[in-house]
Amino acid sequence: MRYHDEEWGVPVHDDRRLFEFLVLEGAQAGLSWSTILNKRDNYRSAFARFDPAKVARFGARDVKRLMADAGIVRNRLKIESAIGNARAFLEVRREFGSFDAYLWRFVDGRPLQNLRRNMKQVPARTPVSDAISKDLKLRGFRFVGSTIVYATMQAVGMVNDHLSACFRRRELWLPRTRSSAKLRSERK
């Protein structure tokens, strides 16, 4: 409940936080989000506070250490994908200046505003998440299927999928005419 009320859907422009959500959403595949939230602090510790430069340097010993860590999901493919994704993340950052600039360009730097009345109207994926997923895969990312990408978009506020009756919808509603640079300056 606290995650929904305080964090879910709030626009994120910090690269480390974006990497965190990418790793956590990938770890969540096939599991409940509450399972991952309950392990979030353990993930932060196990994955160097989600510093992509540090995670990119993880090797076989780190994979072995992580496979023995009961505080995270001990799935070798998910662990190895997080490490590989850190390396790909750094490449994207080199190319675009930041992962934030790369990711938010898919929505023109502004959150997409949806008007959903019930959970049945919330899709698992969209054409935008399909495009991001495809591009991430071309760049070497794994565990970034369209459903995982859409969940990431929701979590980091690229899309406002709070239901119309939810108090957070109005709080997070941002007109599409405002630029992300303006939003960042307003937050300071």
Q: Among the options 25, 102, 104, 150, which is catalytic?
A: 25
**CB-count exposure of residue 70 (10 Å: 0-12, 13-18, 19+):** exposed
Give strand pairing partners of 160. 113
**What distances in angstroms separate CA 92 from CA 47, 100, 109, 140, 150, one per listed residue?**
19, 10, 17, 10, 19
- Using CB atoms within 10 Å of the CB of residue 60, give its burial: 0 to 12 exposed, 13 to 18 middle, 19+ buried: exposed
The whole-angstrom separation of Cα 65 and Cα 184 is 38
3 counts as catalytic: yes
Half-sphere exposure of 137 (CA within 13 A, CB side): 12
3, 91, 95, 171: the catalytic one is: 3
Catalytic (active site) residue 43: no
DSSP state, 105?
A: G
Q: Which two tokens stand for residue 28?
A: 């969540």
Selecting among 7, 8, 33, 80, the annotated active-site residue is 33
Active-site residue flag, 171 = no
Catalytically active residues are 3, 25, 33
